[in-house]
Structure 1
Amino acid sequence: MTDHSLTVTTRAVGERVAVLTVSGEIDRASREVLATAAADVLEQGRHRLVLDLTGLEFCDSSGLSLFVELHRRTLALAGGLRLGGARPLVATVILATSLDRLLRLHPTADAAVDAALRDD
């Protein structure tokens, strides 16, 4: 899925984990691209989501609220959300808002995937 400022690609890892690779910028105009991609994956029965944020250049409050929403939705489905590979600008925003207390951050997307696979 794509928007002028956001691209999301998905891939399955095993039976329960999906990686959503996010590139570009998440803002009020583009957040639905990620929301729709995540909803599609959840409907397929993959309730452990990893957001690969390596290519995410910007995230405003609407993106942060979407992360919290996805965290809650996955927990309600006995899954979970992990974020991996956030660039310094995005990581700083997450830390400054104390969302790191709620969201599970990993230094790389691979580390986030490994952790999601161990969540049995």
Structure 2
Amino acid sequence: MDRGTVGSANRGRLQVGVRTEGPSEVVTPAGELDHHTAELLRAPLEEALDQGRARLVVDCSHLEFCDSTGLNVLLGARLRAEAAGGGVHLAGMLPVVARVFEITGAEAVFTVHDSVEAALAE
């Protein structure tokens, strides 16, 4: 089920698509994830968790930038998802975003997949 996109190019530099695929909630941020746009990602992640959807797949293939605020949004979602028996799976990270996770060591606490399809298949 596709629930559309939250956010607006006029409001910031991030748009977030959300859809349900089987037991997973697929969240697709597109653009730049930083302290100005982090709430646009936080809200649908929290909504999914509030609705009992604890397996989150974040399609990072359109994410062009992620700063520490964005990383903290994902880490917070991971903690909540794991507490609910699920997890956060990151898929399709572009090299510039993957580098942030590598430098901070955050890649070690997430399940990282080459593609959304691989994340959904797991």
What TM-score results when the alignment is normalised by the length of structure 2?
0.89
Q: Which runs of 4+ in 1 moved over 3 A?
A: none
Unaligned runs of 5+ in 2: 1-5
Kept in 1: contact 2:92–2:115 (CA 8 A): yes
Unaligned runs of 5+ in 1: 116-120
Q: Match for 1:76: what amino acid?
A: A
Q: Match for 1:22: what amino acid?
A: P
Q: Match for 2:102: what amino acid?
A: L
SS at match of 2:28: strand
Q: Match for 1:8: what amino acid?
A: V
SS at match of 1:70: helix
Distance 1:68 1:39 in 2: 12
Higher RCO (CA-CA < 8 Å; seq separation 6+): 1
What TM-score results when the alignment is normalised by the length of structure 1?
0.90
Q: How does 1:61-76 map to 2 (within 5 A)?
A: 61-76=68-83
Kept in 1: contact 2:54–2:87 (CA 8 A): yes
Q: Match for 1:56: what amino acid?
A: L
